[in-house]
């Protein structure tokens, strides 16, 4: 068998581990915001398609967009979370009424 020494990331030449971590964190953030945005879009389409209330569906879609764009630009999950909660509450209100 080959003799494998210990891997030393901190002393390797050309080490770009911090760049990998930033890329991974950016990907996870983009996926999180994207998934919540898609769920909000599905809320809007469900309200429009099932209940026929396309005006309320358009409001949900606008809230979803206004939550996703700042969420992606600021690297914060707060705008996306707020938009998701508001869209969910509108969805529940429309579903029971």
pLDDT digits (tens, 9 = 90+) for 56-74: 999 999 999 999 999 999 9
pLDDT digits (tens, 9 = 90+) for 2-43: 667 766 666 656 678 888 889 999 999 999 999 999 999 999
Which ranges of 4-77 does DSSP label H, i.e. alpha helix? 17-46, 54-74
Its pTM stands at: 0.81
Q: Are 40 and 84 in contact (CB under 8 A)?
A: yes
**Run of H or E including 83:** helix 78-96
- Alpha carbons 30 and 51: distance in angstroms, whole number: 31
């Amino acid at each position: 068998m080959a003799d494998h020494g210990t891997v030393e990331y901190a002393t390797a030449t050309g080490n770009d581990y911090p760049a990998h971590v930033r890329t991974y964190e950016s990907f996870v953030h983009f996926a999180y915001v994207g998934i919540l945005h898609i769920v909000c879009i599905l809320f809007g389409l469900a309200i429009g398609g099932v209940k026929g209330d396309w005006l309320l569906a358009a409001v949900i879609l606008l809230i979803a967009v206004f939550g996703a764009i700042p969420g992606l630009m600021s690297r914060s999950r707060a705008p996306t979370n707020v938009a998701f909660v508001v869209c969910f509450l509108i969805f529940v209100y429309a579903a029971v009424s």
